[in-house]
Chain A
């Protein structure tokens, strides 16, 4: 079954802690993306990667970091520098760049307690 898997579905973090969100795809897509969604708002781009070992900042990269060591994996770390990390995080992939269909995972809801 091909698709994008995000884990965990729910995540709780204490203030001051770093946390890593997992995103794996078996679609053989080159490009992967991380978006943040706040209640009642659209999706905002955090980071994207168009090829292994390369990634670019999106519109709201401050307080986040990523790596792309394998084609199928694009983990996102929410660092303690992110001032308001509570949100719904969505990972996506596409076969090439941004002008091809993006497939989304089911999301991770992160809550800072």
Chain B
């Protein structure tokens, strides 16, 4: 089955700086790569996703890049704000259900 690895496990940045989280996946059949944000005690919420026929996607301060050859994808958050502090999960899906990475705790220092 699919295996997703995510790095780093924790990330601390100053407000206004950029943050980058990286994931690799194992199953070349995976074609959908979402990113979720989870706040304490709540369910994850989708923040951006990308499909395998696209190399990059942007939504305001958030962007995701995908390298199918290397089987890795990354989340980029620019101009970070304190409200960006949360746990972020990447995921990959060949078809049946999402397989998640282990999560990155992002702390944005004011």
A residues apposed to B, CB below 8 Å: 4, 6, 31, 33, 35, 40-45, 48, 50, 56, 58-59, 90, 92, 97-107, 109
What's the Cα separation between A31 and B102 when bound, in Å? 23
- For residue A30, give the distance in angstroms from its CB to the closest CB of chain B: 13
Chain B 1-30: CB-based contact to A (< 8 A → 1; otherwise 0): 100101000000000000000000000000
Partner of B89, one of A43, A48, A101: A43
Chain A residues with CB below 8 A from B42, complex form: 106-107
| Number of residues from B at the complex interface, CB < 8 A | 27
Q: What residue in chain A is nearest B101 (Cβ atoms)?
A: A42
Q: Are A43 and B97 interface neighbours, CB within 8 A?
A: no
Interface residue ranges, B against A (CB under 8 Å): 1, 4, 6, 31-32, 34, 36, 41-46, 49, 51, 89, 93-103
A26 to B1 alpha-carbon distance, docked (Å) = 30
Contact of B44 among A45, A90, A99 (CB under 8 A): A90
In the complex, chain A residues whose CB is within 8 Å of the CB of B97: 31, 33, 45, 48, 58, 97-98
